Amino acid sequence: MEVCRAVKRILLRRTLTLGKVCDIVADFAQMGFPNCGGVIDGTHIPILAPDHLASKYINQKGYFSMVLQVLVDHCGRFMDINAGWSGKVHDARIFWNTGLKITVREVEMPIVILGDPTYPLMPWLMKSYTGALTAARSVDCAFGHLKGRWCCLYGKLDLANDSIPTVISVCCTLHNICEGKDESFIQAWTLEFQHLETEFEQPETRAIRGAQRGLGGEATSVGGSWWQ
């Protein structure tokens, strides 16, 4: 844990940062959504049942987990993370408690981020898009690479509650470093991750999944106000 704490303290805020806004917006526009500055979503990380607090960590699929909420850019890199909320907590509650917001200067069309139907509709957060939105898939790709590289995230982390968010944050930091340096991603890792995922299927809280398939607690946070 000493190494993890050092990585988090020294590298996390240097690595999880907003890139070039113009490049992010331009690439999301090519994916089919103009003026998009990122995609927000959450994923459940399996853990062992915490002592005396087990009921608070049972998610909708019936296993114990902590939630990782991320904001992802067009390349599948994390710009903002919030790790450590119990699996029973709804995505919208996590969102309201992260302090994430976008303040944009006077422009004709404000920059927005995309979220699934579990998130609140706001002037800068679009949701309930039912088409095959390529831009939204960047977050699925990011989660796939994150869990494919760091299979410990699907191994029921056997750590103290206050240590698990640190490990998750470090995995996100290393993910950004690997993606930023174009480190190769072996497809066999995806197969292993998918095998593990069948045992811990994600809670089906995201209605947009169906459309894309063909039908049409405290936390560790990085980020806050950006694009001032």
pLDDT in tens, 132-168: 566 667 888 899 899 889 888 887 888 888 899 999 9
Q: Is residue 218 included in any domain, yes or no?
A: no
Q: For position 105, what pLDDT does the model report?
A: 54
Q: Is residue 106 included in any domain, yes or no?
A: yes
Question: Residue 192, exposed/middle/buried by CB under 10 A (0-12, 13-18, 19+)?
Answer: middle
Q: Is residue 228 included in any domain, yes or no?
A: no
Judging by DSSP bridges, how do beta strands 125-126 and 65-72 pair with one another? unpaired
Q: For position 204, what pLDDT does the model report?
A: 66
H/E stretch holding 80: strand 78-86
Q: Is residue 89 included in any domain, yes or no?
A: yes
Q: For position 174, what pLDDT does the model report?
A: 95
Domain count for the chain: 1
pLDDT band at 213 (very low <50, low <70, confident <90, very high): very low
Q: For position 206, what pLDDT does the model report?
A: 47
pLDDT band at 109 (very low <50, low <70, confident <90, very high): low
Judging by DSSP bridges, how do beta strands 101-102 and 36-46 pair with one another? unpaired
Q: Is residue 223 included in any domain, yes or no?
A: no
Q: For position 50, what pLDDT does the model report?
A: 79
Does the pTM surpass 0.75? The reply is yes
pLDDT band at 227 (very low <50, low <70, confident <90, very high): very low
Q: Is residue 174 included in any domain, yes or no?
A: yes
pLDDT in tens, 46-82: 998 877 778 888 888 888 999 999 999 988 999 999 9
What residue numbers bound the domain in which 23 lies?
A: 2-211
H/E stretch holding 167: helix 164-180
Q: Is residue 146 included in any domain, yes or no?
A: yes
**Cα–Cα nearest to 144, from 181, 91, 80, 197:** 197
Q: Is residue 115 included in any domain, yes or no?
A: yes
Q: For position 194, what pLDDT does the model report?
A: 75
